[in-house]
Structures are given as C-alpha cells and as structure tokens.
Amino acid sequence: MDATLIRQLVWLDYRLALLFIVLIPFGLLGWAFRSGSEAIKRSLLLYGRVTSLVLITIYLAIGSLAIAFISGIIAEILIVFALWFWQDLNEDIEASPKKLKPVYLGWRWATTIYCFLSIGLRLLFANCAFVKPEQLSDICKIWFEPPLSFSRVFHNGVPVENLAFMGAVGGIIYTLYFFFFVVFSLPKTGRVAFRD
C-alpha cells in the first residue's frame, strides 16, 4: 500500500475513534444523567471502564512501543463486548426514554461497525507488534503519528519516555483488573452487569 494512503487511513481511524469512542458516548452519558435513564447510564459507565484501554494504547504508542498495535486491537474487541454482552442492561435499555433510546442504539451499532472496520485495518499491520523498535518500518511508524500529535497538544514538554511509562503502568493495572474480573467476578455474575 502507498504510504500516503496508509497515513490518511490511520488519521481517519483516529478521528473516527475520537468521535465514536469518546465524544458521542460522553454526550450520551450526559443525556442519560439528565433524562434519568439508569440502564443507558450504567451501560455507558461500564463502557467507560473498558475504553480506558484505548487511552493506555495511545500512551504506549506515544513511546513508539510495538505492544500498542496489540492493545489497540484488544481494546476495540473489548469495546464491542462491552456494548452487547450484558443481558440485563440490554433488556433494561428497551424501557429507556423514547428520545434517548434510538440515539443510543444507533451509536452502539455505528460504534460496533467502526470497531470491526478498525480491527480489520489494524490487523493488516499487526506484524508491526513483533518488530524491535529500531527495526520498525516507516509504514509501522505512521501509526505513532496521531498519538505523538496528541502528546504535543496535551503534554507539551513532557518526555515521551515518561508518557510511555505511564501507559505501561496503566496497561499492567488494566491487565490485573481484567484478569481478576474474568477469573473471579464473571463466573459469579455471568451476563448480569448489576445484581440487586
């Protein structure tokens, strides 16, 4: 593939992620709080926990750590699971306010489609995760451009090594929490997000 096309696709992917994974759910969460929709509010709060892996991935990518390719794919897979997995929330969402429910469901479907397309794009470059940092091709390095731009805007003057370290620590904490959830919590609760 041409490097210019890849750069355009990577930047488009990050812009769509900002829209579908951050901005729209943040707006929906505010709407859910105002309208008193408990099911959508709880769904979005659970979703927020899962999407923290996206932020961790960005910090790993700021440091040009190849593990960011894998964590990005895992983050999007977990996002899809977070949107559809919880049986009790899916049933309760059916009783949500009539104005909020179709917007939420439309966003959920759009985000699911976006995540599958993004996963497909990222899988084309998954081999970048298994290359030593000094051997990364120019094509692989394109994936680090948007996170580096993010760091210049929000962390100007902070060494990228420090930001990558924060991402690595966050990744370790996230992995431990996820392991605890899968091994201890999930077998007890199953597909029920909240027990009365």
What is the sign, positive or negative, of the torsion defined by CA atoms of 176, 79, 73, 4?
negative
Least confident of 32-36, 84-88, 126-130, 138-142: 84-88
Instruction: Quickly state the pLDDT bin for 192 (edges 50, 70, 90).
Output: confident
What burial class does residue 196 get, using C-beta atoms within 10 Å of its C-beta: 0-12 exposed, 13-18 middle, 19+ buried? Answer: exposed
Asked, for residue 194, whether it belongs to a domain, the answer is: no
Asked, for residue 195, whether it belongs to a domain, the answer is: no
What is the structure's pLDDT at 167?
Answer: 96
Q: What percent of the chain has pLDDT over 90?
A: 70
What is the structure's pLDDT at 194?
Answer: 63
Asked, for residue 101, whether it belongs to a domain, the answer is: yes
What is the structure's pLDDT at 97?
Answer: 72
Which pTM was predicted?
0.90
CA distance 141 to 160: 15
Residue-averaged pLDDT of the chain: 91
Instruction: Quickly state the pLDDT bin for 191 (edges 50, 70, 90).
Output: confident
| Count of CB atoms situated within 10 Å of the CB of 54 | 18
Asked, for residue 116, whether it belongs to a domain, the answer is: yes
Q: Does the pLDDT value for residue 98 go beyond 50?
A: yes
Q: Tell me, rounded to whole angstroms, the distance of Cα 166 from its chain centroid.
A: 17
What is the structure's pLDDT at 170?
Answer: 96
What is the structure's pLDDT at 29?
Answer: 95
Asked, for residue 125, whether it belongs to a domain, the answer is: yes
Asked, for residue 136, whether it belongs to a domain, the answer is: yes
Structural domain including 157 reads 3-189
Query: pLDDT tens for residues 44-82?
Result: 999 999 999 999 999 999 999 999 999 999 999 999 999
What is the structure's pLDDT at 193?
Answer: 67
Asked, for residue 196, whether it belongs to a domain, the answer is: no
Q: Tell me, rounded to whole angstroms, the distance of Cα 167 from its chain centroid.
A: 14
| DSSP-assigned letters across all residues of 126-159 | GGGGGS-GGG--HHHHHTTHHHHHHHHHHSTTS-
Closest CA to 81 of 103, 59, 123, 49: 49
Q: Does the pLDDT value for residue 96 go beyond 80?
A: no
Q: How far is CA 177 from CA 50, 53, 180, 182, in A?
A: 11, 12, 5, 9
What is the structure's pLDDT at 36?
Answer: 85
* pLDDT, mean of residues 126-142: 87
Provide the domain count of the chain. 1
Q: Does the pLDDT value for residue 196 go beyond 50?
A: no
SS3 for 10?
Answer: helix
CA distance 92 to 127: 41
Q: What percent of the chain has pLDDT over 70?
A: 97
CA distance 108 to 173: 27
CA distance 43 to 166: 27
